[in-house]
Amino acid sequence: METGIRSRAIENRILVGIACITATIILVGWIAINENARMEEFTERAQGRSVEQGGILFEDNCAPCHGYDGLGSNRAPALNNPVLFGFDYMQAIKDERLAVEAQLLNASDPETILALQTRLAELDAEEQALKEFIQYDYSQELVEMDAELAALDAQIETLPGIEPGRAGSIAAYIGRREAEALAPLLQERDDLTAKQDGGTPLTAEETERLTQLEEEIAALEAELKPYKDLSGQRTVIVERRARFQTLVDAHERVKAARAKLALAEAALAPLGETPAEGTPDPNAAAREVLINMQAAARSELDAADAERTNAYNALVESGDILRYDPTDPAALNRLTQVGWAGSLYDFLEGTLVGGRPTSASYWPQPMAAWSQESGGPLRPDQIRNLVEFILAWDREFTIDDLRAVQQFAKVPSAGAATAQGPTIGANVTLISENLTTLRDGGFEADPNAGKTLFEGGYGCSGCHGATAGTGPALAGMWTRATENQDNRLTDTGFADNPELYLVQSIVAPSAFVVPGFADGIMPGRFGEQMTIEDLANILAYLEQQQ
Amino acid sequence: MSILPIPSFLDDIKDKGLRKAVYEGVDEVVTRVTAGMNIQDIREALRGDEPSRRPNPRLTPHADGFFLHIRPSFYHQAVTGIYPTFRLGFLSTYFFFIEVITGLFLMIFYTPSPLVAYDNMLEILGNVPMGQFMRDLHRLGAEGMVLFVALHMARTFFTGSYKRPRQFTWFTGSILLLVTLFLSFTGYLLPWDQLAFWAVTIGTSMAEAAPPQVVGTNVNLLLRGAPDIGAGGLLRFYLLHVFALPLLAIVFIFVHYYKVVLHGLSLPPGMEEIGQDTAKRVPKESRVYYIPDVLTTELMWVSLVTFILVVMVTWFFHAPLENHANPQSTPLHTTAPWYFLWLQGMLKLGDKVLMGVVLPTIIFGFLFVMPYIDTTRSRRYAHRRVAISLGLITVVLLVVLTYMGTPWYGVDSAADQEALQELIPVEGVGPIRAVPYDELVITTDSPIYTNLANPDESGYQITELDIVLPTIGIPVLDGNMDDLERMYGDSNPEFFHALEKTHEVVYKEFKDGLKNQLAYFVISQHQPEVRRLQLIITWDDENDVRQVSEKTIYLHSQSEWHEH
């Protein structure tokens, strides 16, 4: 090869090489300086996607008890819940009070001090008002119920026989129709049947009339059915509204009485202290009037307050609202309530991993341990996704959010139910012998007691509801066992005594897991909690689930 | 007399002056580092001049240096161009080194345990500077290595370079092909995502099929460490990936290259007499010396390919990472890695044992011994019509089988499942996740939760759904696409695009026998930053029974699926 061409070829290679290396270095440098932003973005995305995964997991595993919207159900508390997040509705007021108090420490000018002290008093009043608003002010609910009622009334007014604007007369209408149209027919029918029952054979005409009567009665009842349905709905709303109205009225009265009291006190203040005995009091007349007024306002306030408390308790008892006391600091924050020193993330994770600790003292239905490390079905990453998802409910909560909650978490109590007497253990053979002994001894198992234990004491119904949920359905449980579905009897060796299969499922749930359900969710310690009587009662209840 | 009590550099300065003394010092260092070439020699070499002194200093690095002692000092001019080698062997080696370097980096941040492996991936991507770059490079390098090794083998076959005396070189090359495939395959599992888990489950299930059963079961146990892939399997794959297989690769790369140098690079087939091998007898005028010509060429290729790789991982290629491995849920359309798709295609054709074990063993066995079977002497293309035709047929077969290995061939799922999978794939993005969060139109406050297919749970009879759904969702029907375009085309273009795509897919997948299909989007604001999207399809099946199928996803404002 000629030297000139060769040297040019080498030069070109070097040129390309250097160009590529330079470009690579620039590119890598450019990537490197963007790394922080990229990593941050990735972490954010990963977090978002973790929440997305958690949503599906929640829907599949948690929603049946905690509610699809996270607002709770009768089985488990709400997680989409200001209390869980410790959301403090008074935060703005508290912040301002701290600031004012700090200013007060540094203030020396008497006028400023007075202004600041006035502001503090105002803040106290504001806080009190807000607390009462949260607890007692259901006027918005009244508006909502009115709207509901108006919609229902509009529907009622389309029914024939109801005059426009007189939906409230529906009950009277039903009564009238029953008295005027239905009652005579019923009377006639009863007469005829009484005659028949008395041994007098009916004539052909009478028999025909009886058939005709039955048809007419059925037709009339069918005609009245929509009236009754709507009337029933209306009654429910009206009664509910009345209960709320009582509270709202009482609350208004409390506010009015308090205003009156404040007025009297404000008028009394300029009069000064009551002078000592013997000294002439130039304001004696005015003072007496005002003092009487003050006393009247105070007793009015006490009465209204008592009335309000009663109305509130009535609403709580009727299940219309949940008890939530904003004056109790623990009620504001679940972590304070249970004395948890870690973060909310840790609290949720801990609960998911290990189930609800000391479950019996919180809630009749225990929450299973969900993580694989505690024998449950979920992997650590899935637990994390779930926690991230629940945490994503955090926000600036409104009072509507608070009222939407269907079940607050229970406050831990010391009085956990414990078994009376020796427990049954996990040895099915032994339990079987004990059961026989118990029954031979004349023990009558009580299905109703079993039902109570199933729903309350041991919380079985949390997972074994009417339909299949986390665990197999209660309905048909006995039938499925006795009919050896999925070979459960043959596999466990209880073919000649299906009851023992159920016993084994209670004390050693992992021995046979019904296909389609996960192993490890059902607690395995029932054998250490139940007495033989409890077991017999539960079995008697299960025997009814054909 | 020295300046210091001992002879020193200062004496040189005193004798020769600073400039000369420094130059001579540097020159000596350069000579030692290059094992024989001084600055002047290097300068001449790079200029393309003849060496100015004898003996030729450009040969001493080969004779005395460590790194070049295995490289030939000159090549036949005919093999230094692109043809006939296409530099495939060199680039295969290059990829191996890229893998070693990036692999060592990744190893720092990785623990082979199912509990943390996936977290390590998120950590590497989200918390390790240049972590994504290194992982992408490692993955791209792995694909490149498989590709280039395979192409290298094909080239060797088509130029007949495996023939006498290079049969054993081919044999070691076949070993390296297998090692490369297994290196890539074992690395596939390590991220512990769904992709990894199921691709490797499919791959190793072939080992389980090996007859007789006792062998299959035990091979499977050895490989996976348990009946299924778990902690044991992951650790085994990891050790194979970072220790056993690289060791094998290094040993055989050196054996392979030793044989290459021993026999010389084979000349293009037409240049030699039939049966001759003149690779080692290079006439003086045909010699191209390693220094400087081949060396500069190689360095140029290295920097060029590195640049291409970096460009690729910057803009065009990111190593996939799916959801955490879940042994309980098999994603629809699981496939083996692309280089094993042909095997998956074969498996669809027949018996698992025959197609998955016996035939592959025969194929690879034949690969190893091919040079000893094909003992014809001529390397010329014209004389190897049968061999080249067979080779081309094999390539075509591989392509066809690879296609058959993909889900597009011979996998029939229910139409609704196919449609939902295409629109909202279990893994990856799909057209609906790709809609930006803000464009998702909230359709209702009270969506349908629970299992729609089960009236007991949902509280809806299927027939009621068609009445309820229009009130809470956006219907995607044959007749209303224009309306939807008017409503969303301008304000929510990406969302409308998803609706269009849904329309297209639902009416395509459902064309056979199923009719009256209706698709609805039900979207609700579930959390402050989370929207819940439910795609519901109802249709009449072959027996005119109304059916329903749905898929729910949650979308977070931060997750930005449209970006990746």
Q: What is the pLDDT along chain A (546 residues), one digit of tens a residue?
A: 455 667 788 999 999 999 999 999 999 999 999 999 999 999 999 999 999 999 999 998 888 889 899 998 877 889 999 999 989 888 889 899 999 999 988 888 899 999 999 999 999 989 888 888 888 989 888 999 999 999 999 888 888 888 888 888 888 889 888 888 888 888 888 888 888 888 888 888 888 888 898 899 999 999 889 899 999 999 999 999 999 999 999 999 999 998 899 888 888 887 777 777 777 777 778 888 888 888 999 999 999 999 999 999 999 888 888 888 888 877 788 888 887 888 999 999 999 998 875 445 566 667 888 888 887 889 999 999 999 999 999 999 998 899 888 888 877 654 444 556 677 888 888 888 888 888 888 888 888 888 888 876 677 776 787 766 678 888 888 888 888 888 888 888 888 888 889 898 888 888 888 887 877 777 777 887 788 888 899 999 998 888
| pLDDT of the residue at B400 | 95
Give the sign of the dihedral formed by CA A131, CA A132, CA A135, CA A138.
negative
CB–CB of B304 and A16 under 8 A? Answer: yes
CB B271 within 8 A of CB B78: yes
Beta-bridge mates of residue B531: B525, B555
| pLDDT of the residue at A496 | 81
Tens of pLDDT along B357-375?
888 899 999 999 999 999 8
| pLDDT of the residue at A129 | 87
Other C-beta atoms lying within 10 Å of the C-beta of residue B60: 19
Best CA proximity match to A153, nearest among A225, A224, A235:
A235
Distance CA A355, CA B225 (A): 32
| pLDDT of the residue at A416 | 43
Residues in chain A within 8 Å Cβ distance of B438: none
The predicted complex's ipTM stands at 0.90
| pLDDT of the residue at A33 | 96
Residue with tokens 């253990």: A425
Phi, psi of A517 (to 5 degrees): -120, 155
Q: Check if B299 contacts A (Cβ < 8 Å).
A: yes
Provide the phi-psi class of B513: left if phi over 0, else alpha when psi is between -120 and 50, else beta: left
Residues 6 or more apart in contact with residue A56 via CB below 8 angstroms: B552, B553, B554
CB A387 within 8 A of CB A54: yes
Tens of pLDDT along B21-33?
999 999 999 999 9
Distance CA A91, CA A93 (A): 5
Long-range contacts of B456-461 (CB under 8 A, 24+ apart): B456/A467, B457/A467
- Chain A nearest-CA distance from B27, in A, is 22
- Which of the 8 DSSP states describes residue A409? P
| pLDDT of the residue at B168 | 96
With a cut of 60, say whether residue B201 has pLDDT above it: yes
Q: Which domains does chain B have, with CATH numbers?
A: 75-322+331-405 (1.20.810.10), 415-556 (no CATH)
Tens of pLDDT along B236-250?
999 999 999 999 999
CB B470 within 8 A of CB B477: no
**Chain centroid to CA A532:** 34
Cis peptide before B55 (omega within 30 of 0): yes
Tens of pLDDT along B50-100?
899 989 999 999 999 999 999 999 999 999 988 989 999 999 999 999 999
Q: Check if B554 contacts A (Cβ < 8 Å).
A: yes
CB A345 within 8 A of CB A387: yes
Residues in chain A within 8 Å Cβ distance of B449: 59, 63, 68
Nearest by CB: A17 against B303, B552, B564:
B303
CB–CB of B306 and A20 under 8 A? Answer: yes
Q: Which domains does chain A have, with CATH numbers?
A: 1-89+326-413 (1.10.760.10), 140-251 (no CATH), 428-543 (1.10.760)
Residues in chain A within 8 Å Cβ distance of B307: 20-21, 23-24, 27
| pLDDT of the residue at A418 | 52
CB–CB of B297 and A13 under 8 A? Answer: yes
CB–CB of B133 and A17 under 8 A? Answer: no
3-state percent breakdown (helix, strand, coil) of chain B, nearest 5: 60, 10, 35
For chain A, counts of helices (H) and of strands (E): 19, 0
Q: State the first-to-last Cα distance of chain A, in angstroms, to the nearest integer.
A: 99
Distance CA A64, CA B165 (A): 74
CB A435 within 8 A of CB A536: yes
**Chain centroid to CA B350:** 27
Residues in chain A within 8 Å Cβ distance of B130: 31-32, 35
* Residues 96-135, chain B, touching A (beta carbon < 8 A): 115, 118-119, 122, 125-133
With a cut of 80, say whether residue B305 has pLDDT above it: yes
| pLDDT of the residue at A2 | 55
Best CA proximity match to A230, nearest among A281, A154, A286, A143:
A154
Other C-beta atoms lying within 10 Å of the C-beta of residue A460: 24
Beta-bridge mates of residue B324: B193
- Chain A nearest-CA distance from B226, in A, is 18
CB–CB of B293 and A6 under 8 A? Answer: yes
- Chain B nearest-CA distance from A12, in A, is 9
Phi, psi of B524 (to 5 degrees): -135, 155
Strand pairing report for B515-527 and B287-289: unpaired
Tens of pLDDT along B167-179?
999 999 999 999 9
Distance CA A71, CA A61 (A): 15
HSE-up of B523 (CA within 13 Å, CB side)?
Answer: 19
Three-state SS at B304: helix
CB–CB of B307 and A11 under 8 A? Answer: no
CB–CB of B130 and A32 under 8 A? Answer: yes
With a cut of 60, say whether residue B324 has pLDDT above it: yes
HSE-up of A250 (CA within 13 Å, CB side)?
Answer: 24
CB–CB of B530 and A52 under 8 A? Answer: yes
Beta-bridge mates of residue B287: B76
CB pairs under 8 A between A and B: 146
CB B324 within 8 A of CB B118: yes
Residues in chain B within 8 Å Cβ distance of A28: 133, 310
Tens of pLDDT along B446-471?
888 877 777 766 677 777 888 888 88
CB B68 within 8 A of CB B62: yes
| pLDDT of the residue at A491 | 83
| pLDDT of the residue at B95 | 97
Name the band, by pLDDT with cuts 50, 70 and 90, for residue B418: confident
Distance CA A458, CA A471 (A): 14
- Which of the 8 DSSP states describes residue B324? B
CB B523 within 8 A of CB B442: yes
| pLDDT of the residue at A358 | 47
Other C-beta atoms lying within 10 Å of the C-beta of residue A180: 9
CB A500 within 8 A of CB A428: yes
Distance CA A451, CA B366 (A): 72
Nearest by CB: A7 against B48, B130, B554:
B48
Long-range contacts of A158-163 (CB under 8 A, 24+ apart): A159/A226, A159/A227, A159/A230
CB–CB of A68 and B125 under 8 A? Answer: no
Tens of pLDDT along B488-544?
989 999 999 999 999 988 887 776 667 788 899 999 999 999 999 999 988 888 888
| pLDDT of the residue at B1 | 64
- Chain A nearest-CA distance from B496, in A, is 22
Q: Check if B283 contacts A (Cβ < 8 Å).
A: no
Mean pLDDT estimate for chain B: 90
DSSP H helices in A318-360: 334-338, 344-354
Other C-beta atoms lying within 10 Å of the C-beta of residue B350: 11
Distance CA B259, CA A473 (A): 72
Residues in chain B within 8 Å Cβ distance of A23: 307
Helix (H) or strand (E) holding B476: strand B474-476
Name the band, by pLDDT with cuts 50, 70 and 90, for residue B258: very high
**Chain centroid to CA A122:** 35
Residues 6 or more apart in contact with residue B473 via CB below 8 angstroms: B443, B444, B520, B521, B522, B523, B534, B536
CB–CB of A55 and B530 under 8 A? Answer: yes
CB B518 within 8 A of CB B466: yes
Distance CA A506, CA A454 (A): 11
Best CA proximity match to A530, nearest among A477, A459, A470:
A459
Q: Which residue has the higher pLDDT, A524 or B182?
A: B182
CB–CB of A13 and B299 under 8 A? Answer: yes
